Structure 1
Amino acid sequence: MNLYIGLLTVFGAIILLTAWLPMALREAPLSLPIISVGLGGLLFYHPALWELTPHPVQYPIATERLSELIVIISLMGAGLKLDRILSFRAWMPTWRLIGVAMPLTIAAVAFTAWGILGVSVAAALLLGAALAPTDPVLASDVQVGPPRAGEEDEARFTLTSEAGLNDGFAFPFVNLAIALALAGGHLTAEGWRDWFLVEVLWEILGGVAVGWAIGWGLGYITFRMPNRTKLAKTGDGFIALGATFLAYGLSEALNIYGFLAVFVAALAIRAAERNHDFHDKLHDFAEQTERMLMMVLLVLFGAMVVHGGLLAPINLPIVVFALVTIFLIRPGIGMLSLVGVRMPTDEKLTISFFGIRGMGSIYYLAYGLNHAEFDQTFQLWAALSLVVLISILLHGTTVTPAMGHLDRRRSRNQRRQEVPAPAE
């Protein structure tokens, strides 16, 4: 069997496993990402594939573009499946995680990287910004169900909406790290002013505005045009991909945050007609595409971990950094940000603990390294990859019992409320 035929065979097996494994693992303390990483480590043991084992440093543009592609598709799927109407009060836990937890997490991870790993301030900030967002791709097991499925409890909703928004809100800090690296570690007052006006205000507000305008326009065409021209009548779920690429492409052409625009566009499409069956087809197509890409990329990630030297620079400081990031920084700051929010403690713990790191983190690090020179590149990749690997293993094995606990408690509370009061 030649290499081409072998790769086709492997790719076919991956597609089948992508379809079947989620059903088989539904009640098991395992996840599709864990299986994918393990498959990558096993498949690339074949001598014919050793030379193909990639490393992000060897393929920086491909790493950035592939991770970018899966993130934007995931953001569209996340926005489409949210049933809750956007409002300040209903989304309060999400605003807390975005406005409080994210900047504090970036600062804490950056300070830890600077102190423990000994990297520059710019590199530490880049690592902090890359590892702060909850990943929209690998966090699917803790997200809400499909549109109108009723699986939108507080924990699942908060993790889904946070994962949808925080990729866009992390970008100003990635760009700040790039600016610091280009300026030799020190920004002038004018540089700080430009960063705030352009990277924070213009690109965030522009991303929201453009995303909403595109989503509203597509929603109108899809659901509210005269019957003969309603796109919803086509029944084609791949319209979700068209909406994703249109929103992302236009926003990036305008130099505003495409991640934010895609998620907001999905919210606007959903708001145009909340209960239409076509949302199920849009979401399902986006989810299936995302899942297939995720499995392929995680198989490559597993190969890089086992055979590609991705973790070769690991030493005790990197291990300590990864453990502190996973077990202390996100859970602690997550709980702190939710103080005062009326929510059961176990739901707060779940939200704080399941800050899953994955493809979004890989994208941000690749993007930063492609736009400026940073010190200790291999060390940065090793530190980030170890955090992602621990997150995949830890969160993948604990998500089923954790979410099962919340579901059982919620069912008990509902049964108590349904018990009729004794007659007087």
Structure 2
Amino acid sequence: MPSPFLLALTGAGLLIALVVWLPLLVRRLPLSMPILSVGLGALFFLLPFGTPLALPQAHPRLVEHLTEIVVIIALMGAGLKIDRPFHWRRWAVTWRLLGLAMPLTILAIAALGVWGLGLPLALAVLLGGALAPTDPVLAGDVQVGPPRSGPEDEVRFGLTSEAGLNDGLAFPFIHLAIALGAVAGTGGAWFGEWLAWAVLWKIGAGVLVGWGMGLGFGWVTFHVPPESALARTGDGMIALSATFLSYGAAEMAQGYGFLAVFVTALAYRHAHRQHDFHDAMHAMTDQVERLLMTAVLLLLGGALTGGLLAPLTWADWAMALLVLLVVRPVAGWLALLGLGAPAGERAVLACFGIRGIGSFYYLAYGLNRMETAEAGRLWALVGLIVLLSVLLHGLSVTPILRRLDAWRGRRRLKGSARRP
């Protein structure tokens, strides 16, 4: 039997090869890279190698930290991609998705959890907070292109900015679930403390630390003499430094690190918006993100073959379909009423709230700080919803966005033809 070290090296080499080759294979198949990753993971864990089961509830701390790293790197990449300068009016679609669609989604999922699944209120709120955010990792196919890649349409911009910010803004609801679990049956004045600490302080600290870090890194990169010395190196690894420093500093300041990382990326772009060094930084984060994403999805495939979905009931399956096909689309549609965008764009924005690795992180974070006998069922339900999201959105995103782009192009041509 080979040593664990040799097995780890061999597995790392295979993983890197998959990350390089899978995108080439996806171009010729009606499948997405996440779908293939989950399928290959399932096949691998079915092989007779004596591979241990990859059930997340067996390794809760490892799952929390692994998914945490994937999400923060994806957030840096998402922020670096956004060309649109920060402005309250120009980001109107973002505020609607964050301020209306996300709370409505959390409320609906929590209500379904209590009255449909019989979950305690704390676990229902945890489920809502974990499933509400659009995932910055798996939503790459519906996001804007690399930095400076041209005008950003409302659909791609809205989903990119939503995925970047809602991973931080969903956190207060996770802390609300933990607080509800802690005071269940004991009472106590907890709401004011939760509002002051989990909402006001942690959001404020995350934004301030992120903005300060982004401006600081931008000044060092683009303005420290000799002029643009660091930027001229083309070494995009500085993006990983900015990611980890901003996340660590925000968390040590008791702020939301997820929020800080995305704000750091926005401020970094603000420091010198058109410099081609942003391309190098984005390329670095994109490579690392794809590597880690593939690893997590391979493990998800292994968990599926290991019995992850075994605890599910018919009510849980119905809940999963409702979350993907009814709750998010309806909440998104209501939030976007009056936006002024065409109905087709609003429909895509409402429907493509992809659930993914961020949901695993939030669930692991909450369960690691709560006592419950329902952990297996919650992991199964979230795993099912992520799996269905990967399949549903992965198969539909490319043809739908192509049709939307074609319709948008025809509309521009008609508009040009009408001009004198």
1:89 and 1:353 map into 2 onto residues whose CA distance is 23
Distance 1:356 1:208, change over 3 A: same
Distance 1:329 1:395, change over 3 A: same
Aligned length, in residue pairs: 419
How far residue 354 of structure 1 moved from its aligned partner, in angstroms, is 0.6
Amino acid corresponding to residue 394 of structure 2 in structure 1: G
What's the CA shift string for 1:345-376, capped at 9, x where partnerless?
A: 11111111110001100000000011121341
Compare 258-267 and 145-154 and name the one that shifted more: 145-154
Which TM-score applies when normalising by structure 2? 0.96
Distance 1:359 1:111, change over 3 A: same
1:185 and 1:122 map into 2 onto residues whose CA distance is 12
Query: Contact conserved, 1:358 with 1:388, CA < 8 A, in 2?
Result: yes
1:416 and 1:187 map into 2 onto residues whose CA distance is 63
Query: Contact conserved, 1:180 with 1:187, CA < 8 A, in 2?
Result: no
1:400 and 1:186 map into 2 onto residues whose CA distance is 51
Q: Give the equivalent residue in structure 1 for 2:157.
A: 157
Q: Match of 1:371, SS?
A: coil
Query: Contact conserved, 1:123 with 1:375, CA < 8 A, in 2?
Result: no
Q: Give the equivalent residue in structure 2 for 1:141.
A: 141
Compare 324-333 and 405-414 and name the one that shifted more: 405-414
Q: Give the equivalent residue in structure 2 for 1:243.
A: 242
Q: Give the equivalent residue in structure 2 for 1:71.
A: 71
1:368 and 1:421 map into 2 onto residues whose CA distance is 57
Distance 1:27 1:347, change over 3 A: farther
1:162 and 1:420 map into 2 onto residues whose CA distance is 35
Q: Give the equivalent residue in structure 2 for 1:47.
A: 48
1:16 and 1:316 map into 2 onto residues whose CA distance is 39
Amino acid corresponding to residue 388 of structure 2 in structure 1: I
Q: Give the equivalent residue in structure 1 for 2:251.
A: 252
What's the CA shift string for 1:256-289, capped at 9, x where partnerless?
A: 1000000000000000000001000000100110
Q: Give the equivalent residue in structure 2 for 1:221.
A: 220
How far residue 417 of structure 1 moved from its aligned partner, in angstroms, is 3.4
Write the mapping of 1:336-355 to structure 2, written as runs, cut at 5 A: 336-355=334-353
- Stretches of structure 2 lacking an aligned partner (at least 5 in a row): none
Q: Give the equivalent residue in structure 2 for 1:415.
A: 413
Q: Give the equivalent residue in structure 1 for 2:18.
A: 17
Amino acid corresponding to residue 383 of structure 1 in structure 2: L
Q: Give the equivalent residue in structure 1 for 2:318.
A: 320
What's the CA shift string for 1:310-349, capped at 9, x where partnerless?
A: 1110110110110111100000000000000010111111
Determine whether 1:194 maps to 2:225.
no
- Stretches of structure 1 lacking an aligned partner (at least 5 in a row): none
Q: Match of 1:20, SS?
A: helix
Which TM-score applies when normalising by structure 1? 0.95
Distance 1:185 1:335, change over 3 A: farther
Q: Give the equivalent residue in structure 2 for 1:125.
A: 125
Write the mapping of 1:204-215 to structure 2, written as runs, cut at 5 A: 204-215=203-214
2:228 and 2:342 map into 1 onto residues whose CA distance is 47
1:235 and 1:373 map into 2 onto residues whose CA distance is 48
Query: Contact conserved, 1:141 with 1:399, CA < 8 A, in 2?
Result: yes
Q: CA RMSD in A?
A: 1.6
Q: Give the equivalent residue in structure 2 for 1:264.
A: 263
Q: Give the equivalent residue in structure 2 for 1:37.
A: 38
How far residue 21 of structure 1 moved from its aligned partner, in angstroms, is 2.4
Query: Contact conserved, 1:40 with 1:298, CA < 8 A, in 2?
Result: yes
Amino acid corresponding to residue 79 of structure 2 in structure 1: G
Q: Match of 2:49, SS?
A: helix
Query: Contact conserved, 1:27 with 1:400, CA < 8 A, in 2?
Result: no
Compare 15-24 and 65-74 and name the one that shifted more: 15-24
Determine whether 1:84 maps to 2:88.
no
2:357 and 2:169 map into 1 onto residues whose CA distance is 16
2:74 and 2:228 map into 1 onto residues whose CA distance is 28
Query: Contact conserved, 1:219 with 1:273, CA < 8 A, in 2?
Result: yes
Amino acid corresponding to residue 264 of structure 1 in structure 2: V
**Runs of 4+ in structure 1 over 4 Å off:** 3-7
How far residue 30 of structure 1 moved from its aligned partner, in angstroms, is 1.3
2:73 and 2:140 map into 1 onto residues whose CA distance is 13
Q: Match of 1:48, SS?
A: coil
Q: Match of 2:66, SS?
A: helix
2:247 and 2:236 map into 1 onto residues whose CA distance is 18
How far residue 187 of structure 1 moved from its aligned partner, in angstroms, is 5.0
